[in-house]
C-alpha cells in the first residue's frame, strides 16, 4: 500500500513538472513570443537578431539642434561599411582604395580578420565627402556601402540641458503601455530635455543595413544586404532649442579655464527671454548621480543680489529718499562691531557698496507698511514661482520645458516677519531666501526690459522630419503684476552705479568692452572646507550693454572660499567674448 502511494505521489509530481515545462515551452513558442517577461522581450525578433549582422545607421530617436539648426548631440558622419563576406568573394578593392585613400591590402586585411561589419569614418582616418559616398555606391560592390551614419558628437556640449538617455524596460512599459512596437532595449530620456520631450523623441523605426548569416557566420541567402529605412515622412522629429552652440561652448570653456568646478551660469536673450547658454558644474558624469543635477534651476542662497528686490520695494513704496543717509559703520543688526567703516551713505551708494545696514533698515520699514511687500515685489520681478515656459501642448494641459525647476522661497516661516534678526538676514539674501540662477537672470532681464516679465524659453519649435512645424512655443508673459516703468528705470540706474562708482562692488567691469550693469552677492552657506575655511556662494548678476540691453547674465560659484572665487572673472570673460559675437 505504501509503495503504491509513493508511486502515485511520484507520478503526480512528474506530471506537474512535465505540465509546467510544456506550459513554459508554449509560453516561449506560442503565447508571449512578442512580449516575453515584464521587459516585453520580442523572442521572434531576438531569434532573427541571432541570425543577422547589421549596421545601425540611425536609431530613429529625435534629435536636438541649436537656434541656427546646428546639431547639439548627434551628427551624421560620412562612413564606409565593409561586410565580412567580402573575404569569400572577388571584389574590386583597388577601385575602392583609390576613392577612400586606404591601401587595397589594408582593406582586404580588415575584412579578412573580422566576423562583424566594419565601419570606417574620420575617427579611423577615413575622410569622406558626399561625392565620395556617391562614387562608392556607384561601384556596386556587394558588401560595400557609403552611408551617413548617426554618431554622437565627440565633444559634448550642453550636457545638463540636453540630458541623457538609458535603457529601462520596466519604466518604458509603464510610461508607454500603448507602444508595444517599442523594443525593450529602446532608450528613454532620463534627465534634461531628453526626459522632458521623451514622448516626441521616441523612435518610430531604425534605419540599418541588414545581412543574414548561418550559425557559422556564412551567408544565408547569398550576398544580398538589405537596406531597412523608416518611410515615415514625419518622424523622427527635431527639437529646435534656443541655445547658441558657439556661445554655449565659449561659456563652458570659460568656466573650465577659471577653475569653477561647482556652479555655473545662465545667459538670456533679453528681447526674447530665451536661454542662449546654460552651464552647470560639476560636469555631467553618468557614473556619479550627484553630477546629474542642473544647479541653474535649483534654489541657492543669493546673498546681496537680493538687495535688488529690497531696492525695488523701497522705490515702489516711496522709501528711496535721495537726501536720506544711512550709517554704514553699523552691521546688519545695527551694531557697531568695528567690521564696517563706510560712514554715512545715501540709498544709491548703499546699493553700489552693498551696505547691509541700509537694506535691513529698509526691510523693516517695508514690513511695517505691508507684511507682504517683499514677496510681492519679488513676484513682480519674475523672481519666485516657476518661471520656465509652461502651457498646453497637445494632450498636456501644463507642459513644462523645465519640469525639474524648483521655485524659490523668501520666508520659511511667516512669524519671521515679526522677528527683527530674521528680517535682517532675509533682507541680505540669507535665512530662508533661496533663488535659482535662472530666476535671478530672469529678474535682470525683466529690469532691463523696463519691467515686463516673461517666462523663460529654451525650446522654440518641434519640427517634423520633413521640416514642417509640429509645434511652436510662443512667448508667454508671466502672470501677475509688473513693477512700474519708473521703478525699472531707477533699478537700471542703481545696477549701473554698482560698476561706475569708484568703490562699487562691480567696479572691475568698468574696463569691459560692453557697459555692464549688475549686482554682486556673497552668501554664507553654513559650511566649511577641510581646512576650516568658511564657504560661500559667490554671485554676479547683471545685463549689458547698459544703454541698449541685449544679454542678461548670471554667474554663480557655489561652496567656494571668497578669495578663490572665479565668479567675476567668468562674467568679465563672457562679456568680452560676447562683444566679439
**In angstroms, rounded to a whole number, what is the distance separating the alpha carbons of residues 572 and 581?**
15
Q: Which residues lie below 8 Å from residue 221, measured CB to CB, with a gap of 6+?
A: 212
**363-371 long-range Cβ contacts below 8 angstroms, 24+ apart:** 363/310, 363/423, 363/424, 363/426, 363/427, 364/420, 364/423, 364/424, 365/319, 366/310, 366/313, 366/314, 366/317, 366/319, 367/417, 367/423, 369/317, 370/317, 371/417
Distance CA 199, CA 179 (A): 11
304 is an active site residue = yes
Q: To which residue does cell 544709491 refer?
A: 348
How many CA atoms lie within 13 Å of 373's alpha carbon, on the beta-carbon side?
A: 25
DSSP string of 199-227, one letter each residue: HHH--S--EEEEEEB-TTS-BSBTB--EE
Kind of pairing, strands 165-167 and 534-544?
unpaired
Check the CA dihedral 487-489-491-493 and report its sign.
negative
Burial track 103-117 (b if 16+ CB lie within 10 A, e otherwise): eeeebbebbeeeeeb
Classified as helix, coil or strand, 421 is: helix
C-alpha to C-alpha distance for 425 and 363, rounded to whole angstroms: 10
Q: Closest by alpha carbon to 505, among 538, 548, 553, 544?
A: 538
Catalytic residue among 93, 121, 304, 517: 304
Answer for the pair 148, 122: CB distance below 8 angstroms, yes or no.
no
Place of cell 523605426: 205
Q: What are phi and psi of 432, to 5 degrees?
A: -110, 10
Active-site residues, by number, are 304
Amino acid at each position: 500500500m505504501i509503495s503504491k502511494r509513493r508511486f502515485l505521489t511520484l507520478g503526480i509530481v512528474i506530471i506537474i513538472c512535465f505540465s509546467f515545462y510544456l506550459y513554459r515551452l508554449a509560453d516561449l513558442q506560442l503565447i508571449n513570443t512578442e512580449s516575453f517577461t515584464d521587459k516585453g522581450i520580442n523572442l521572434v525578433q531576438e531569434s532573427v537578431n541571432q541570425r543577422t549582422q547589421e549596421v545601425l545607421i540611425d536609431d530613429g530617436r529625435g534629435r536636438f539642434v541649436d537656434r541656427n539648426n546646428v546639431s547639439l548631440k548627434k551628427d551624421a558622419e560620412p562612413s564606409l561599411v565593409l561586410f565580412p563576406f567580402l573575404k569569400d568573394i572577388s571584389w574590386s578593392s583597388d577601385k575602392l582604395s583609390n576613392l577612400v585613400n586606404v591601401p587595397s591590402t589594408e582593406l582586404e586585411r580588415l575584412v579578412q580578420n573580422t566576423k562583424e561589419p566594419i565601419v570606417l569614418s574620420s575617427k579611423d582616418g577615413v575622410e569622406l565627402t558626399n561625392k565620395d559616398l556617391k562614387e562608392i555606391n556607384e561601384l556596386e560592390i556587394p558588401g560595400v556601402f557609403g552611408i551617413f551614419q548617426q554618431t554622437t558628437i565627440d565633444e559634448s556640449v550642453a550636457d545638463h540641458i540636453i540630458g541623457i538617455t538609458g535603457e529601462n524596460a520596466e519604466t518604458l512599459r509603464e510610461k508607454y503601455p500603448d507602444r508595444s512596437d517599442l523594443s525593450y532595449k529602446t532608450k528613454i530620456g532620463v534627465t534634461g530635455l531628453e526626459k522632458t520631450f521623451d514622448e516626441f523623441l521616441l523612435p518610430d523605426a531604425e534605419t540599418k543595413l541588414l545581412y543574414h548569416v548561418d550559425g557559422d557566420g556564412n551567408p544565408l541567402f547569398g550576398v544580398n544586404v538589405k537596406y531597412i529605412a523608416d518611410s515615415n515622412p514625419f518622424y523622427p522629429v527635431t527639437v529646435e532649442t534656443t541655445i547658441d552652440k558657439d556661445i554655449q561652448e565659449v561659456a563652458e570653456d570659460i568656466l573650465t579655464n577659471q577653475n569653477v568646478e561647482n556652479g555655473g551660469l545662465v545667459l538670456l536673450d533679453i528681447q526674447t527671454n530665451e536661454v542662449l547658454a546654460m552651464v552647470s558644474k560639476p560636469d555631467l558624469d553618468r557614473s556619479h548621480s550627484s553630477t546629474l543635477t542642473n544647479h541653474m534651476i535649483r534654489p541657492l542662497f543669493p546673498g546681496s543680489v537680493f538687495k535688488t528686490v529690497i531696492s525695488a520695494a523701497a522705490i515702489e513704496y516711496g522709501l528711496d529718499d535721495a537726501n536720506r543717509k544711512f550709517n554704514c559703520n553699523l552691521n546688519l543688526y545695527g551694531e557697531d562691531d568695528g567690521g564696517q567703516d563706510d560712514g554715512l551713505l545715501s540709498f544709491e551708494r548703499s546699493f553700489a557698496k552693498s551696505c547691509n545696514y541700509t537694506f535691513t533698515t529698509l526691510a523693516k520699514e517695508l514690513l511695517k507698511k505691508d507684511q507682504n511687500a517683499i514677496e510681492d515685489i519679488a513676484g513682480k520681478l519674475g523672481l519666485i514661482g516657476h518661471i520656465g515656459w509652461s502651457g498646453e501642448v497637445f494632450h498636456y494641459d501644463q507642459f513644462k520645458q523645465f519640469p525639474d525647476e524648483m521655485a524659490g522661497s523668501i520666508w520659511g516661516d511667516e512669524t519671521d516677519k515679526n522677528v527683527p534678526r530674521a528680517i535682517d538676514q532675509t533682507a541680505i539674501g540669507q535665512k530662508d531666501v533661496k533663488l535659482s540662477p535662472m530666476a535671478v537672470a530672469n529678474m535682470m532681464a525683466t529690469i532691463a526690459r523696463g519691467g515686463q516679465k516673461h517666462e523663460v524659453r529654451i525650446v522654440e519649435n518641434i519640427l517634423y522630419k520633413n521640416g514642417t512645424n509640429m509645434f511652436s512655443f510662443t512667448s508667454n508673459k508671466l502672470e501677475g503684476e509688473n513693477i512700474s516703468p519708473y521703478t525699472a528705470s531707477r533699478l537700471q540706474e542703481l545696477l549701473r552705479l554698482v560698476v561706475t562708482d569708484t568703490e562699487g562692488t562691480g567696479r572691475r567691469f568698468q574696463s569691459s568692452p560692453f557697459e555692464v550693469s549688475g549686482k554682486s552677492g556673497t552668501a554664507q552657506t553654513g559650511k566649511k572646507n577641510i581646512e576650516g575655511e568658511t564657504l560661500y556662494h559667490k554671485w554676479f548678476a547683471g545685463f549689458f550693454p547698459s544703454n541698449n540691453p541685449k544679454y542678461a547674465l548670471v554667474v554663480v560659484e557655489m561652496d567656494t572660499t571668497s578669495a578663490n572665487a572665479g565668479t567675476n572673472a567668468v562674467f568679465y570673460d563672457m562679456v568680452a567674448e560676447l562683444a566679439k559675437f
